[in-house]
């Protein structure tokens, strides 16, 4: 939630809104998910994914310097998040360890897109500095417009800090730090922490170049470099001078070039010796120039073989980015780029799908000779693992067993009255078979007897009622009851009652209206009132006595004058028979 004292500040509210807008459109495993935003109780809120872990800054403070393999793996995940954002035109602009969450398995989530830009005008004026001084790029420190290269620089600072436990630039004020970001070269990480792999150090220093154009071409190029480092460190391969990370240090190359040129012209004498004779300098100029060119080619050209260095006329080609592509597509792309030799293939097991390229040498976008040998590291898949049997285990035990075997677990509940709730029934695929390591396995767990609400079918025709109940999973039984008030086949009652929750598959009993039996009406005309009533009731009918009729003589008094229906007719049992009786004489 935005603190109340900032809720009235348009700049803070706009930054808060911008974070929700920028991050809400970024769905990626390494980016925190934004679920909702709005206003409540006079302030603004963002609802986002709960992250169980700590910030990368906390991890660095507690454990740095980190193991190079671990540091490279974390940096790669940060770059994966940045690369995805860049694809959508979003630049984070404030990548730092405080904005990176790391869980117990070193899985990374990048947060805080509060100053991210997606092409629209920013919320700051031109010349202002956004981000944290220790991690901003030189162009950002100068207040210039930034692009993907700025995020790459920031991740370079984060990687430097993970490897050494120190920041490349520090000072007493943010302004002083920003000045160093613009004007000073960082000290090589290995000077602070001996033993850092040379290729990883070179890759980090590449990301920390002062000029945007001297850094990796894009996030994918940096990721490809990190992939290659991770792969080599995992395999325990030795660092080689020809590994694809021999990236020139601009300051050192420039200094060497200037010194050589000065010595060649005789204007400066090394170590205070007399100036060199110009004629002698001219004679030596050819090998000095060749030496400088050789240094540059060996440094920049660590991506190709030694013989290529001395082939200046060999046509140059650009190595395409093939990491992440299928092998067939990768080899086609390399051939189309102009390489004369088919790439050599090195297969390794990995969590990537089979036949996907996971490493390349030379690196993407390197300019090398067309005869350069290309090596591709190709995934052979993760291998296979047998699914353990979990039948009869408690859900937590079964889930832990599957995760220990390296599987991703998805839970599916299933009603089963024969297995106690919370007990594993089976897995899908079934236990005992071998599948790709790390693949997804569904754990099927009993939730016992499933209870459902009984539909209310009273008043419905029996056919409709039966269909409705059977569709809900119930067994239906019926009994008939004659009725003179309901049409034949209408449900008069049900057990259990409508709306009651019972076990799915239970029996529902229905009482259904049936046509009543017909009975002959007794003829009671002329019978005494009391005898007539008894005769009608004994036959199963009801009796209604109408107003008495005054008798014409004493012989008719208190006897039945007429009846409806008349005697002898057959009507439904329970029908009411009306009788009219002569009144007794006074």
User: Do 113 and 143 meet the contact criterion of CB atoms below 8 Å apart?
Assistant: no
Active-site residue identified among 36, 58, 94, 204: 94
d(C-alpha 285, C-alpha 265), whole Å: 8
d(C-alpha 298, C-alpha 303), whole Å: 9
Q: What is the DSSP string of 453-505?
A: EPP--TTSBHHHHHHHHHHTT-EEEEEEEE-SSS-TTBEEEEESPTT-EEETT
- Residue 94 annotated in active site: yes
The distance of Cα 83 from the centroid of its chain, to the nearest Å, equals 17
- Sign of the Cα torsion 344, 349, 353, 359 reads negative
d(C-alpha 305, C-alpha 292), whole Å: 18
User: Do 26 and 88 meet the contact criterion of CB atoms below 8 Å apart?
Assistant: yes
**3-class SS at 33?**
coil
Q: Is the bond preceding residue 565 a cis peptide, omega within 30 degrees?
A: yes
Can you give the three-state secondary structure of 338-375, one letter per residue?
Answer: CCCCCCEEEEECCCCCCCEEEEEECCCCCEEECCCCCE
Strands 542-545 and 357-361: what pairing?
A: unpaired
Cα distances from 391 to residues 386, 398, 413, 419, in angstroms, run 15, 8, 14, 10
Q: Which residue numbers are catalytic?
A: 94
């Amino acid at each position: 939630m935005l603190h109340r004292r900032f809720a009235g500040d348009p700049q803070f509210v706009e930054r808060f809104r911008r974070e929700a807008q920028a991050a809400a459109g970024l769905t990626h495993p390494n980016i925190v998910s934004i679920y909702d935003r709005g206003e409540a109780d006079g302030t603004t809120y963002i609802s986002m994914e709960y992250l169980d872990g700590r910030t990368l800054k906390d991890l660095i403070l507690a454990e740095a310097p980190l193991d190079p393999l671990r540091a490279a793996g974390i940096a790669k995940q940060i770059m994966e998040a940045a690369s995805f954002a860049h694809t959508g035109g979003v630049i984070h602009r404030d990548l730092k360890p405080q904005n990176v969450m790391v869980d117990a398995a070193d899985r990374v989530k990048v947060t805080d897109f509060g100053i991210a830009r997606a092409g629209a005008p920013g919320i700051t004026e031109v010349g202002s500095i956004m981000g944290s001084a220790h991690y901003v790029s030189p162009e950002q420190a100068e207040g210039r417009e930034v692009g993907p290269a700025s995020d790459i620089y920031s991740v370079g600072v984060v990687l430097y800090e993970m490897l050494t436990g120190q920041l490349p630039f520090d000072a007493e004020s943010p302004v002083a730090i920003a000045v160093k970001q613009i004007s000073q070269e960082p000290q090589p990480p290995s000077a602070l922490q001996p033993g850092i792999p040379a290729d990883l150090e070179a890759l980090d220093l590449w990301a920390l170049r002062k000029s945007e154009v001297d850094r990796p071409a894009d996030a994918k190029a940096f990721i490809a470099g990190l992939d290659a480092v991770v792969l080599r460190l995992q395999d325990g391969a030795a660092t080689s001078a020809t590994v694809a990370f021999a990236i020139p240090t601009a300051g050192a190359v420039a200094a060497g070039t200037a010194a050589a040129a000065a010595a060649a012209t005789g204007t400066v004498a090394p170590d205070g010796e007399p100036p060199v004779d110009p004629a002698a300098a001219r004679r030596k100029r050819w090998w000095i120039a060749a030496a400088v060119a050789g240094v540059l080619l060996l440094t920049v050209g660590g991506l190709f073989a030694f013989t290529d260095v001395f082939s200046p006329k060999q046509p140059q080609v650009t190595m395409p980015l093939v990491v992440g592509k299928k092998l067939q597509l990768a080899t086609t792309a390399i051939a189309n780029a102009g390489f004369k030799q088919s790439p050599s293939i090195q297969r390794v097991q990995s969590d990537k799908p089979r036949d996907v390229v996971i490493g390349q040498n030379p690196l993407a976008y390197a300019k090398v000779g067309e005869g350069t040998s290309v090596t591709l590291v190709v995934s052979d898949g993760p291998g296979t693992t047998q699914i353990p049997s979990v039948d009869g285990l408690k859900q937590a035990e079964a889930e832990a067993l599957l995760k220990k075997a390296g599987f991703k677990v998805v839970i599916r509940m299933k009603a089963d009255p024969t297995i106690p709730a919370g007990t594993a029934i089976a897995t899908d695929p079934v236990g005992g078979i071998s599948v790709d390591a790390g693949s997804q396995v569904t754990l099927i767990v009993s939730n016992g007897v499933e209870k459902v609400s009984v539909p209310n079918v009273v008043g419905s025709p029996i056919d409709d009622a039966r269909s409705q109940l059977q569709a809900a999973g119930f067994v239906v039984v019926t009994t008939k009851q004659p009725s003179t008030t309901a049409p034949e086949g209408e449900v008069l009652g049900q057990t259990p009652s409508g709306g009651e929750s019972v076990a799915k598959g239970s029996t529902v009993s229905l009482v259904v209206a049936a046509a009543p039996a017909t009975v002959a009406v007794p003829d009671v005309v002329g019978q005494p009132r009391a005898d007539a009533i008894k005769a009608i009731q004994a036959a199963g009918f009801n009796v209604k006595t109408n107003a008495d009729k005054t008798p014409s003589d004493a012989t008719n008094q208190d006897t039945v004058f007429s009846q409806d229906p008349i005697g002898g007719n057959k009507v439904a049992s329970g029908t009411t028979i009306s009788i009219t009786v002569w009144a007794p004489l006074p």
